[in-house]
Structures are given as structure tokens and as C-alpha cells.
Amino acid sequence: MSVTHALTAEEIEAQERRLTLPRFTYDDAWTLDNLLVSLARERRAPVAIDIRRGPQQLFHCALPGSSADNDAWIDRKRRVVERYGASSYLVGARQRAKGTTFEASSRLDPDVYAAHGGSFPITVDGAGVVGTVTVSGLPQAEDHALVVEALERFMESHL
């Protein structure tokens, strides 16, 4: 997968609005996980994948070429989504648009929080953010794009 340009905050906000789900069940999480794993395997992407509903980890998968380092990145990116209610890529993009960085503006520990692409909120109509789906192992724009593509396919074929 190749991403030709960095997305603007407005483009990422539009993705988040468009990818709001009518529901998110355990079966939906299973389906989304399988979609993500299939896409990553097709591309031989060396990624780790994590899906959570609230604090409960529903799925975690580490594909060949990924490492424990990717698990640490997943945790750091996921914490950004949980704190800000927006994708980790969007939180970083908003700061870049202001001419600063997340690290400088948030003053949060960079060993705990990372506003790099790859963690996306699972948002349900009427319920708000109920969980996260996170990928780590590719450049941040590609991690983000892989999650978005999986969510788009999920919405097209399962909802």
C-alpha cells in the first residue's frame, strides 16, 4: 500500500465522520480483525494489529516481521485515541497544522503517548467512541490507511 500524500486534519476528520458505525459487536470485531489480517497478509505487511472495546482487548495479532516494539507503539497510539477521542493521526495532524508537534504541545510523556498514524476510534452512532483499532509496523500514513481501508470494507460488506 502506498500513500501519496500526508492527509490534512480536515481529510482525517471526514474519514472519522464517514466511518461511524451503527453498532460494534464482538462478531463485528472478529470480522474487522479478519479483514485487517487478510489485507496485511496480502501485502506481506510486517504489522501488529489490536482491536479493543473499552479497556477489553478483543483481538491482537502479530504478523511475520513485526516485533514487541510494534506492541509498544500500539499502546502509545491507542492511548492518544482514548484520551482525545480522535485518531492518533488526526491528533498529530492538528498539531502539525498549528506549526508545532504533539510532543511539544501536549507535554505528555512520549513513552506513554504517540500521536502517530495507526490507531482509529471505533465510533458508534449515539454511543460515541466505544473502542479502538490499531495497526503498527508501517510508516504512520500507511498504518492509518490500512485501518481506514479495513473499516471501509467492513462497512460496505457487513453493515
Q: Where are the domains of the chain?
A: 9-158
Distance between CA atoms of 23 and 10, rounded to whole angstroms?
A: 25
In this predicted model, what pLDDT tens digit does every residue of 17-36 receive, in sequence order?
Answer: 999 999 999 999 999 999 99
Assign domain 9-158 to its CATH architecture.
Answer: 2-Layer Sandwich (3.30)
What H or E segment, with its residue span, contains residue 59? strand 56-62
pTM of the model: 0.93
| 115-156 tens-digit pLDDT | 999 999 999 999 999 999 999 999 999 999 999 999 999 999
Distance separating alpha carbons of residues 135 and 74, to the nearest angstrom: 7
Q: So what's the pLDDT on residue 6?
A: 82
Check residue 159 and give its pLDDT: 65
SS3 call for 3 = coil
| The Cα angle at residue 14 between residues 9 and 141, in degrees rounded to 5 | 55
- Span of 62-66, 103-107, 121-125 with lowest mean pLDDT: 103-107
Q: What angle do CA 105, 108, 114 make, to 5 degrees?
A: 90
Return d(Cα 50, Cα 26) in angstroms, integer: 14
Average pLDDT over residues 76-100: 96
d(CA 148, CA 141): 10
